[in-house]
């Protein structure tokens, strides 16, 4: 299993909307960055992802699971980009702010800090555990 972080603007798609999508999940589409798209292609069914509210909030608010591996993104007219389907797993007891992530020296290597514009990124298992512990999971 691999771990990931996926960003969404909460006024476009929030953790609450993801939860309402239920067990059928929802497509994670609209990604138009080649590096982020490559990350989507590398996701496997069962992988877990932190759900990050970007722009508004700037915090990890929950966890979603990949339930369908990459397929052509129906919102992409060029046919170059892919989507995956994710389903809600849980909300974090305490959201983890970007500010608190930056304060933790053990997380300073994360793409969330180094490549702040990247919308889909891998998270190593050690960092996954640290962030979950920060939220008291």
Q: Do 84 and 69 form a contact (C-beta atoms < 8 A)?
A: yes
The answer on pLDDT for 59 being more than 80 is: yes
The CATH number assigned to the domain holding 125 equals 3.10.590.10
Buried (b) or exposed (e) across 102-117, using 16+ Cβ within 10 A?
eeeeebeebbbeeeee
Q: Which two tokens stand for residue 51?
A: 């759900």
The answer on pLDDT for 67 being more than 70 is: yes
How many domains are contained in the chain?
Answer: 1
| Segments forming the whole domain that contains residue 40 | 3-134
> Model confidence at 136, in pLDDT bands (50, 70, 90)?
confident
Asked whether the whole model's pTM tops 0.75, one would answer: yes
**Strand ranges inside 29-124, DSSP E:** 48-53, 59-72, 82-97, 120-123
* Torsion sign, CA atoms 98, 129, 46, 19: negative
Q: Do 126 and 110 form a contact (C-beta atoms < 8 A)?
A: no
Nearest alpha carbon to residue 3 among 104, 83, 89 = 89
71-106 per-position pLDDT tens digit = 999 999 999 999 999 999 999 999 999 999 999 999
């Amino acid at each position: 299993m691999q771990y990931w972080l996926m960003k969404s603007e909460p006024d476009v798609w929030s953790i609450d909307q993801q939860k309402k999508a239920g067990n059928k999940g929802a497509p994670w589409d609209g990604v138009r960055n080649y590096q982020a798209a490559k990350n989507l292609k590398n996701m496997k069914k069962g992988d877990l992802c932190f759900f990050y509210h970007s722009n508004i909030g700037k915090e990890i608010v929950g966890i979603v699971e990949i339930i369908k591996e990459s397929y052509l993104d129906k919102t992409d007219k060029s046919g170059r980009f892919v989507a995956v389907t994710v389903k809600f797993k849980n909300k974090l007891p305490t959201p983890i702010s970007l500010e608190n992530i930056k304060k933790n020296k053990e997380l300073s290597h994360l793409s969330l800090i180094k490549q702040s514009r990247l919308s889909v990124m891998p998270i190593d298992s050690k960092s996954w555990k640290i962030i979950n512990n920060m939220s008291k999971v």
